[in-house]
Amino acid sequence: MSLREKKVEKKKEEIRQSAMSVIAEKGYHATTMEDIAAKLLMTKGSVYYYFKDKEALVYESHKILLEQSIEQLNEVLAEELTSIAKLRKAMIVHMEYVITERTDFFIGAKPDQVFVGEHLQEIIRLRNEYSDCMDSLIKQGIQDGSFANVDSNIVNNIILGAMNNVVIWYSPKGSKSIQELADSIADYLLKILV
């Protein structure tokens, strides 16, 4: 990557972070490109130089988030751990990421309300890829006898739903740290299988 490309990518990341900050305050539909530009002390035209519109900006941000989630999950899957330890670690990593990047995850909770056309198709494809990885992890645990013989698809949806729902009710003012909360939730969710 050339120096110019690095500078462009750095600026785009700055814009994405600013956008998520403004959206966290105002909500997706109420946020305008002017709001995002104002937060960065840029002109609206400068933001449009990097992103065609708000959907393209949020799409790129959410796509990166999902790709990083898949990468993190694949790293856990590659580790030499028992099925139980692997699923527990995958859940903890997922929830810590959800809480850390909660505005972006919250926007992606109902992608059909934010994205259209090819953007929507790609977001759904990435979500399905992530879900398939989790499902294969559960099936592996069933096959090796670590988990009860359950309908992996139903259990996978229950686990993903519970983990993603953290974005709605988590509060940094709560009594548990992000790590403690993720540990507790992972322990409760594992009881479905163990």
Our measurement of the distance from residue 53's CA atom to the centroid of its chain's CA atoms, rounded to an integer in Å, reads: 21
Give tens-digit pLDDT for 159-182: 999 999 998 888 889 899 999 999
The Cα–Cα gap between 65 and 49 comes to 22
Kindly write down the DSSP assignment for every residue of 26-82, as one continuous string: H-TTT--HHHHHHHHT--HHHHHHH-SSHHHHHHHHHHHHHHHHHHHHHHHHHS---
Give tens-digit pLDDT for 109-142: 788 888 999 999 999 999 999 999 999 999 999 9
Give tens-digit pLDDT for 65-110: 999 999 999 999 999 999 999 999 999 999 999 988 888 787 777 8
- CA Rg, the chain, in Å? 19
pLDDT of residue 103: 80
Q: Which domains does the chain have, with CATH numbers?
A: 1-51 (1.10.10.60), 53-190 (1.10.357.10)
Write down the pTM of the prediction: 0.87
